[in-house]
Amino acid sequence: MPAAEIARVSTQIDQIYRKDSRRIFATLIRLLGDFERAEEGLHEAFRAAMEKWPAEGLPQNPVAWLVSAGRFKSIDKQRRDQRFEHLEDRPDVAESLADQAPALDEKEELEDDRLRLIFTCCHPALASDAQVALTLREVCGLATEEIAAAFLTPAPTIAQRIVRAKSKIRDANIPYQVPARDELPERLDSVLRVVYLVFNEGYSASSGDSATRADLSGEAIRIGRLIVELIPEPEARGLLALMLLHESRRETRATPDGELILLDEQDRSRWNRALIAEGVALVRTAFETQLPGPYAIQAAIAAVHAEAPSAADTDWSEIVGLYDLLLRITPSPVVALNRTVALAMRVGPEAGLAALDDLLGEGVLDGYQLAYAARADFCRRLGRHVEAREAYQRAIKLTVQTPARRFLEKRLAALPE
């Protein structure tokens, strides 16, 4: 075979690896019943493809070919290992393993396997940080070092979390399945929480370099799409919408040298219109249900912002109303704080400040830097410069992220003496 043809086939194998290897892996876990064996099987399958395909050409269904190859290589290896370990002790095991393996069905089965993998990695019996690491490693196929870089955590710590989680899956017999209808809402919550955590880690400026972080958000959106496709529950759609609407603004949130740009000063002409359209359409369908959930409501708030031509022309009463709804479902000091900011936009900074001071009086926002940043902003707009200065200083002391701190310092410096 000519060299050009070989190069073409190996490019195709590369593409299949990038696009489908995690699907194949998910199916191999089901067929082989074990993460490690599936990982080995996956590598063996692609090695076999590199050997055979350049000479024989691509099979008709490469994914099915790779799944069978991975499965047979693994079963074959187990047979050989067992022969060495117990000689003729248990000839039945490998045979029965081969029989149990169901025939590879159509695309649907493969997609279900990815969902099985997601639900297993996000099982509430696993530690929360282990769920995140395991999802990124097994569902997204990120290397341990990449996860470590994104979370500013030493790689051995991440590796340890993953190893522990996998051994718990094995020892406690956490099943490889999509939960039954009656367990689904609760289990889906845990999956959506992990997906949103991954997204936020990629979206907020808390840690890691910006390229890795954008990847994390991209992975979260990809899983979000898959979940919506297979479990079109309103909250799954709400979360996907929320992520898409945030993502639409990614490029406008900072200057090229990393200075923070707030929502009201962002260049709205650079917001990604395609993502906004998709997000807004999803919010509509998520609101067709009787009781929209917290993700759907947050997405609706993001959608009002996304569709407004400017900060001044935003439907602030709609936003305050949505925050009221959100507060009723998930009462939280942070949501209440955001509501005061919207209130300040609708009624005026005085109303915002009064509501915020009530919250601060309750003590629930102690030590939360955004509360003091908001107070500083309300006071600045009211011309109460002494109070504004005090609040900025307090917020700056509490802010760890450099861009956010620089932003507050600039505002503080701009206050009249």
Chain contacts with another protein (rule: CB under 8 A): 123, 125, 171-175, 177, 179, 183
Q: Which is nearer to another protein, 90 or 397 (CB)?
A: 90
Output 179 or 218, the one with its CB closest to another protein: 179
Which token pair is 33?
Answer: 């019943």
> In the complex, what is the shortest distance from the CB of residue 172 to another protein, in angstroms, rounded to a whole number?
5
- Run of H or E including 208: none
Contact yes or no for 221/192 (Cβ under 8 A): no
* Smallest separation, CB 165 to another protein (Å): 13
- Closest CB to another protein among 87 and 103? 87
Determine the Cα–Cα distance for residues 355 and 346; give it in Å rounded to an integer: 13
Of 242, 245, 198, the residue nearest 218 (C-alpha): 198
Q: What is the largest CA-CA distance in the chain?
A: 89
| CB 140 to another protein: min, Å | 24
Q: What angle do CA 277, 278, 281 make, to 5 degrees?
A: 85
Q: 173 or 269, CB closer to another protein?
A: 173
Least spacing, CB of residue 412 vs another protein, in Å: 47
Question: Taking a C-beta distance cutoff of 8 angstroms, is the pair 152, 208 a contact?
Answer: yes
> Helix 210-230 crosses helix 144-151 at what angle (to 10 degrees)?
110
Q: Closest separation between CB of residue 130 and another protein, Å? A: 15
Q: Which residue has the tokens 């194998």?
A: 13
Interacting residues of 52 by C-beta distance below 8 A, sequence separation 6+: none
- Give the CA angle between residues 190, 196, 200 to the nearest 5°: 145
Q: Is the Cβ of residue 128 or residue 255 nearer to another protein in the bound state? A: 128
Dihedral pair phi/psi, residue 101, rounded to 5°: -60, 115
DSSP letter at 102? P
CB of 173 to another protein, least distance (A): 5
Q: Smaller CB distance to another protein: residue 175 or 258? A: 175
Report the residue number, 174 or 188, with the smaller CB distance to another protein: 174
CA dist., res. 302 & res. 305, Å (int): 5
Compute the least distance from the CB of residue 34 to another protein, in Å: 15
